[in-house]
Amino acid sequence: MSEEKNLLEVSHLKQYFPVRQGFKTIPLKAVDDISFAIKPGETLGLVGESGCGKTTVGRTLLRLYQPTSGRIVFDGNVLFDSGEQYDESGQLIVGADGKPVLNKKVDVDMLPYRRQMQMVFQDPYSSLNPRMTVEDIIGEPLDVHKLYSNKKERREKILNLMELVGLNAEHAMRYAHEFSGGQRQRIGIARALAVNPKFIVCDEPVSALDVSIQAQVVNMFEELQDKLGVAYLFIAHDLLVVHHISDRIAVMYLGKMMEIAEADELNGNPIHPYTLSLLSAVPIPDPETARKSKRIVLEGDVPSPLKMPTGCPFRTRCKYATKKCAAEMPQLTDRGNGHFVACWNK
């Protein structure tokens, strides 16, 4: 990959939610110390089973949730920095008093950045206001950011956006309930594109759609990326869809990042035991190959994020687990070709 500067850099991001249990409050560690970067015009696919923290990552990046700690840098601007310092091995630097050594905290107003960072939500049925026409739904970001000088220009922009995502001009005065799931998702995509963003979080944008419609929407995302040069964080649990659209893929488990690699590299050479299991569950269209392939079934249940196992969270279901896995969480290490894996034994 060319050494262009990153559009988005995320370092040691944590998102904990307080949960009351009896008389005490304990943290639910939805996202626990993850780091990654996205280049301009690139698609990073984020996969993992339900409840692993994928959606929380996307919402925290856009500051729909206030991050617990970590650092978010977008287009060279620090959006959030809790001030914690880490050494080269990724360990938190702690002072003599046992508390983290802190730099100055940064927490900027997000309104100027909303134009550059947008989100397409998972559920096209609940993310659109049923009382607003399609024209007003798509036009709302234009109103908020005052991106037109008169009503005529506003309507032209809205119709151009509708054409861009494959909707007809006569759809403009209709309401969301009059459309199919695929058409509603297109309305949501047009709304996200209205402010001409550089980066879009796509939160499982096709999981609520029929398979035939999924392909259309995924292809549309790719065409829009070619036209507009927008970067995506594409969240999904369908590995086939993610491999098709992504330049690189990151695998999450219980709030931790397990593996990051280029899409073809991850598919052809998975290293982490969890990634191997995920890929073995992908249906293979060729019956001969499907019969020869062996499904890797994981033992046990996913631990509760309220009672996380010590060390590596995957160790309770991993056949390679050792005492070292229980003692310490492995850091992501480069195994060559930009292939990063967090595992002591692979």
Q: Taking Cα atoms as reference points, which of 56, 62, 12 lies closest to residue 34? A: 12
Low-confidence ranges of the chain (pLDDT < 50): 1-2
Find all residues with CB under 8 Å of 130, minimum gap 6, and list them: 175, 176, 177
Query: 8-116+198-341, what's its fold?
Result: Rossmann fold (3.40.50)
Q: Specify the pLDDT at position 1.
A: 38
> Can you tell me the distance from the alpha carbon of 219 to that of 245, in angstroms, rounded to the nearest whole number?
8
User: Sign of the C-alpha dihedral, residues 153, 155, 157, 159?
Assistant: negative
From first CA to last CA, the distance across the chain in angstroms is: 25
- Is residue 243 within a helix (H) or strand (E), and if so which, with residue range? helix 239-245
Q: Specify the pLDDT at position 89.
A: 74
- The encoded tokens of residue 63 equal 């500051």
Please give the single-letter amino acid code of residue 134: V
Q: Specify the pLDDT at position 300.
A: 74
Task: Name the DSSP letter for residue 150.
Answer: S
Go through 31-60 and write b for each residue having 16 or more CB atoms within 10 A of its CB, e for each that does not.
bbbbbbbbbebbbbbbbbbeebbbbbbbbb
> Can you tell me the distance from the alpha carbon of 175 to that of 131, in angstroms, rounded to the nearest whole number?
7
Q: Is 338 left (phi over 0), alpha (psi -120 to 50) or beta?
A: left
User: Sign of the C-alpha dihedral, residues 200, 206, 212, 215?
Assistant: positive
Q: Specify the pLDDT at position 3.
A: 53
Describe the strand order of the beta sheet including 8-21 as a list of residue ranges.
24-38, 8-21, 69-74, 77-81, 106-107
Per-state percent for the chain, helix, strand, coil, to nearest 5: 35, 25, 40
- The encoded tokens of residue 61 equal 């990046």
Q: Specify the pLDDT at position 202.
A: 95
Q: Taking Cα atoms as reference points, which of 205, 218, 137, 213 lies closest to residue 175? A: 137
Q: Specify the pLDDT at position 137.
A: 95
Q: Specify the pLDDT at position 104.
A: 84
pTM: 0.91
- Strands 77-81 and 106-107 come out as antiparallel
Q: Taking Cα atoms as reference points, which of 52, 116, 107, 60 lies closest to residue 254? A: 52
* Helix, strand, or coil (residue 148): coil
Q: Specify the pLDDT at position 96.
A: 79
| Whether 137 contacts 100, CB under 8 Å | no
Describe the strand order of the beta sheet including 340-341 as a list of residue ranges.
117-120, 199-203, 231-235, 43-47, 248-253, 256-262, 340-341, 333-334
- Is residue 253 within a helix (H) or strand (E), and if so which, with residue range? strand 248-253
Question: Cβ atoms within 10 A of the Cβ of 81, count?
Answer: 19
> Can you tell me the distance from the alpha carbon of 71 to that of 293, in angstroms, rounded to the nearest whole number?
42
